Amino acid sequence: MKTGEDFKNGQVLLIDKPLTWTSFQAVNKLRWAIRQAFGIKKIKVGHAGTLDPLATGLLVICTGKMTKQINTFQGQEKEYTGTFVLGSTTPSYDLETEINETYSTEHITEDLVYNTTKQFTGVIEQFPPVFSAIKKDGKRLYEFARAGEAVEIKSRQVEITEFEITNISGNNLEFRVICSKGTYIRSLAHDFGKALNSGAHLSVLRRTRIGDFKVENGLTPEEFIATLPEKI
């Protein structure tokens, strides 16, 4: 069993983030649990890459001296699975906001879907969603969006190494993506819908890997807390 000194010296924790939790909540919950378990007044805890509240899956959480490795872990390639819904868009590009536009999907064939994935592999230009935590003029983009303020967003280059549609069920497209740091899967959903001369939004997202770290080796926050000793 790990000791308080182990956590201060540095641990890398693989956490399977539950749906609706923010990454910040997960970090705070673990920090509080570690402090309580070992009677530690202060300990650094941080995560290597945010997951949206409506996404589940791998959070790499570092403690103590291992927090110095966060930037390294953040830069590693990531793998996601999930579902795009064709025929409608939302302002946030996912289910955080209501559907604002609907589009025809009658012209979309399976061949068109599979062929269109080729447009999104390699180095591509991508606009981050306006509902995102990126900062502009000292404010996060989602603050502008929620206030109904227009804001200019610059595109960025990202790299998608693999993009495959793993199942098609009506307007639901299940996918797997391997991509670089900074890639927004919500933007990929939105842009994919446009490339099909329709619309699309993200309905399910799960991060399955960061570098060599895999979600199947992770624990939920509750499972991790259960490994800690009772308060010393």
Rounded to a whole number of angstroms, the distance between the first and last alpha carbons of the chain is 13
Report, in this order, helix, strand and coil percent for the chain, each rounded to 5. 30, 30, 40
Phi, psi (degrees; rounded to nearest 5) at 211: 55, -125
The one-letter amino acid at 11: Q
How many of the other CB atoms lie within 10 Å of CB of 103?
16
Q: Is residue 52 among the annotated active site residues?
A: yes
Give the single-character DSSP code of 219: B
Helices (H) and strands (E) in the chain, counts: 7, 13
Catalytic annotation, pick one of 6, 16, 52, 191: 52
Residue 188 to residue 52: CA distance in whole angstroms: 15
DSSP track, 127-156? PPPSSS--EETTEEHHHHHHTT-------E
Residue 128 to residue 124: CA distance in whole angstroms: 12
The one-letter amino acid at 115: N
Residues in the chain: 232
The closest alpha carbon to 5, from 40, 47, 46, 44, belongs to 40
Q: Which residues are catalytic?
A: 52
